[in-house]
Amino acid sequence: MQGNWPDKKQCGLILSGGGVRGMAHIGILEVLKEYELQPHWVSGSSVGALIGALYAQDASSKEMLAFFKNTPLFRYSFFSLSKPGLLNTDRYFDLFKAQWPENSFESLRRPLYVAATDLLNGDVVYFHQGELIPALLASAALPPIFSPVQIGKGLYADGGIMDNFPRSPLEEHVEFLVGSNVSVIETVEKKAISSSFQLTNRTTSLMLYAINKERIIKSDLLFEPLNLEKINVLDKAGIEKAYQIGKDYARKVMDDYLKDQAS
């Protein structure tokens, strides 16, 4: 199945943050491959940066899912005693090194930009060369769960704080942008906001969407699968469900897009 796509080197892919909900990205990428749309340039934030690095490495959907299933979110020995954050993010380095043994952006098969928040300067940084793993760890270091990551003289945390949908690094390189946003907003009932945790989760989602809405809607082809808000961003039990939601949703979007293109 093939649409009238631009050359892959003129096509970019943006992957948002969203924790376990990001597994929907994997289902979407699988469908894009079925439709022979495989962007060359990649930009991601938080879990989107991790999946972007796997995609840029040419990992299969099965390998991507295995990476997240086999990487522990919480391990007793990873609890932080001397750093801000419940878990010491640096302790995940060896787990990531098993997946990216060369530990460099240059070793990837596609160019990748990784968004991270510079806590000291209060700005967003897009890493795209040199050591890969520190940038990935920083981009996914969600406060206050994970400690910030020191890179050079800087201290970096979750890219989603400043830019959860990193569009700007790709604009000068491509003419067609595919966006996958898993930090979705849908109408909920009052009972869905009945605890402090649910209130925090809802308000954070609303804030992220409001900040990034303008970037998101400018995508040439956009995926925003609903039903993901019911999946806890740190609940690994939701991995397969989020993946399937993304896959089913992407097939419908692609079919509709090609019908419109043909009319």
Task: Check 43, 46, 205, 219 and give the catalytic one.
Answer: 46
Task: Give dist(CA 47, CA 53) in Å, integer.
Answer: 10
Terminal CA-CA length for the chain: 17
- C-alpha span between 242 and 233 (Å, rounded): 10
Dig out the tokens for 94 from the structure.
């060896």
Out of 45, 118, 147, 158, the active site residue is 158
Pairing of strands 112-118, 154-158: antiparallel
Amino acid 51 reads: I
- 87 CA to centre of own chain: 20
Helix (H) or strand (E) holding 116: strand 112-118
158 has catalytic annotation:
yes
Q: Residue 25 corresponds to which tokens in the numbers above?
A: 């990205």
Closest Cα partner for 180 from 138, 216, 233, 134?
Answer: 216
C-alpha span between 42 and 107 (Å, rounded): 14
Residue 94 a catalytic site member: no
Q: Which residues are catalytic?
A: 46, 158
